[in-house]
Structure 1
Amino acid sequence: MLTYIKESVEELRNNVTLPSRAEASNLMVVVAVFSILFALATWGVDTVFSKVVQLYFDYVLN
């Protein structure tokens, strides 16, 4: 376990490069936009399924 941690820290120091501030800001905007779109899509599907289930039970109970 200790070897794994040492190797992970070494890899972070030697092989990982951080993006520039401008690139990080652009990526943040992209992630935010796709998160909002995905949330809206999930809300839409949930709303449709909710209506379908409601219609089904209204039909079955009446």
Structure 2
Amino acid sequence: MAGIVNYVKESFGELKNNVSWPTWAEAQSLTVLVAVFSIIFSLAIWGIDTVFSKVIALYFQLIG
């Protein structure tokens, strides 16, 4: 149990002293960037999935 407590203390010390945190403005702009790219990629995957499902449906219509 002492090892876990020591690990948590060292982790907090590492985060407090050695990590360079972004400013609030940087964090907001990076969040918006991630959200935009997530939406773009999800739309691209949705489009590809729609095309593949139509191709597969057409294939099964032709052989069925």
Q: TM-score, normalised by structure 2?
A: 0.79
Q: Post-superposition, which runs of at least 4 consecutive aligned residues in structure 1 deviate over 6 A?
A: none
Aligned positions of 1:5-24 closer than 5 A: 5-24=8-27
Cα RMSD (Å) of the superposition? 1.4
What letter matches 1:36 in structure 2?
I
Comparing 29-38 and 17-26, the one that deviates more? 17-26
Q: TM-score under structure 1 normalisation? A: 0.81
Find the aligned partners of 1:35 and 1:45 in 2 and give their Cα distance. Answer: 15
Task: Name 2:62's counterpart in structure 1.
Answer: 59
Identity %: 59
State the aligned residue count. Answer: 61
CA deviation vs aligned residue, 1:8-57 (integer Å, no higher than 9, x gap): 22211111122111111111111111011001111011001101110111
Asked if residue 4 in structure 1 is aligned to residue 7 in structure 2, the reply is: yes
Structure 1 unaligned spans of 5+:
none
